[in-house]
Structure 1
Amino acid sequence: MRNFSKTTKMTEDQILKAISKSGYLFESEISKFLADSGFFVESNVIFQDPVTNKNREIDIVAETYNDFSSGDFDRVSCKIRYYFELKNNDFPLVLLTKLQFNPNTPEDIFKEILTVPTGIKYDSYSAFTEQLYDQSQNFYTQYCSFSKKKDNEIMASHPDELYSSLSKLCWFCEKSTTETNELFEEMSNEYFRHWLYLPVLLLSTDLYELTVGEDNNPKLEKVKYSRLLLNFHYNDRPTSTVIYVVTKDYLKDWLLEMEKLEGSVRTKMKESKVKQTV
């Protein structure tokens, strides 16, 4: 029988060190940062895994407080919803194998919600998608991290835990997009909506891109953020999505960039609605 009278004594420094190493402190820090920055934040969002039927969770779901057209009630809504998985990574993450665009490259790698009332002419592709497809920024299709063996040799690896995190992130984002679109299809679309649902892998430390030059020599470049195209199955249907991989130190600047994009799309929507009334 276990002796419960013997307990392990820990100092406060030991407690904080263990929590920090586990990643719990990282998640609390990011949740607070997002809330202080004006985001509506949901932590540890639970969903049922379709394969195991067990509960799984997304670390953070966040979006800006944004009612229709910032309160002027003209029924125009534009927003980005972020789905975050956080990794308190001891080793760097490396993205490799550049995406080679071709006619078979999927067109719906960015997940959008769109409802356009009758009479409005709106070029939705030039809003979010065309900007996000910017090929001056790289897309990658593979990744690796590292692990230390018993003899302290460091090996490149494709961690199962990371793959599981990325898969559930994409699956949940796809589920949210699909269900929201299906809901709006059943409603009278008098509201003008354009929403973007974006999966994000947030790293606590280093991120690299690996490229192979004309001399076939690999080159590493340390970056602040990058993009990973992940293929997966949603309800037995093959699909793909882009995950933004962002380092903690760059999160604030990256969110400001995305806020500018959101603002430009909202302006485009308002201009489209004004043309309808002219």
Structure 2
Amino acid sequence: MTSASLEDRVRKWLSDQGYPLEMRVARITGATGAGWDHGRVYLDPVTGKTREIDLMGYFDRATWSDPPFSVHVIFECKHTRDKPWILFCTDRPGIRPRGFVRSVPATTHAKGAITATLKEAHRTEDDSPITSMDMFRPPGGLIGFNLARAHTDNQDTAFHAMRGVSGAAEATAQDIGKYGHAVLYLPVIVIDSPLMQCFLPDGHDDVELTETGRGVLLYPTGPGSRTLIHVVTVEALPEFLGRVASESENLRSLVAPHLRPPGGSSGR
């Protein structure tokens, strides 16, 4: 077997795997100035088994003199070039704007600071600068309630992507929260095939199908509990992460008055 044929075989195998997508997402994350790493693990809250996170991005930029607040992104990368993804949507999410904010996993200290900021006397909770951030609101006003892959009856990949990324964010927040850190964990599913929004308007019998680069899903994690998950195509990821980087700085400034004085690491 020549070296050329070996390389061809390996490249063919890689084309069917998700590793190149993870590497591409890492490069995009680093281009925003954020830190990142592969191979972080967490204890699955459902099975009790140790599982691996595809990638984690660190939008913390904190120094010893900064408020100890960070935004970390939990990435679940799904390579399915041959099958588009369908985000089933509604325009009636059933929660208020502050509910979207509170559905993002965070450590106890971070949740407390965000809640206190939302309740500040000079604004209502639903009229806070926080609720207008792209990290906490669905684009175009439609909110997803389910995610599936087209052209297949097997929806295990979609199910495990939603459960995995939400479970990783919740479990990591609980674990890191034990050390008193203030960290928000943003769950993001990245795909390398088209994303379609499926919506049935009032008074219509036919659904509307619209291709988009980004959508938001509320995934049920228990009775009365839902986790906000972003679903983003890899092509739309640079713009989305650019907004996350900017909004992380703004969010840190907003919650700073409600944080304890810095005295430890940012929670990586």
Count of equivalent residues: 238
Structure 1 residue runs of 5 or longer lacking an equivalent are 1-5, 148-154, 185-192, 274-278
Q: Write out the 4+ residue segments of structure 1 that deviate beyond 6 Å after TM superposition.
A: 103-106
Task: Give the match for residue 264 of structure 2.
Answer: none
Task: Give the match for residue 165 of structure 2.
Answer: 169
Task: Give the match for residue 152 of structure 1.
Answer: none
Task: Give the match for residue 212 of structure 2.
Answer: 223
- Amino acid of the structure 2 residue aligned with 1:141: F
Aligned equivalents of 2:150, 2:143: Cα separation in 1: 21
Inter-CA distance 130–77: structure 2 relative to 1 (3 Å threshold):
farther
Aligned equivalents of 2:158, 2:94: Cα separation in 1: 28
Contact 1:208–1:220 under 8 Å retained in 2: yes
**Residues 46-67 of structure 1 deviation map (CA, whole Å, 9 limit, x = unaligned):** 2343554443211001113512
Question: Displacement, 1:24?
Answer: 1.4
Greater fraction of residues in strand: 1
Task: Give the match for residue 23 of structure 1.
Answer: 18
Inter-CA distance 245–144: structure 2 relative to 1 (3 Å threshold):
same
Question: Displacement, 1:136?
Answer: 4.5
Asked if 1:263 corresponds to 2:249, the answer is yes
Task: Give the match for residue 234 of structure 2.
Answer: 248
- Higher RCO, 1 or 2 (CA under 8 Å, sep at least 6)? 2
**Residues 106-138 of structure 1 deviation map (CA, whole Å, 9 limit, x = unaligned):** 93312234649xxxx952453534532468432
TM-score, normalised via structure 2 length: 0.75
Overall identity of the aligned pairs, in % = 18
Task: Give the match for residue 151 of structure 1.
Answer: none
**Residue 147 of structure 2 aligns to a residue in which SS?**
strand
Of structures 1 and 2, the larger Rg is shown by 1
Task: Give the match for residue 197 of structure 1.
Answer: 185
- Amino acid of the structure 2 residue aligned with 1:239: S
Aligned equivalents of 2:93, 2:48: Cα separation in 1: 36
Aligned equivalents of 2:10, 2:189: Cα separation in 1: 26
Asked if 1:128 corresponds to 2:116, the answer is no
Structure 2 residue runs of 5 or longer lacking an equivalent are 119-124, 259-268
Task: Give the match for residue 159 of structure 1.
Answer: 155
Root-mean-square deviation (CA), in Å? 3.2
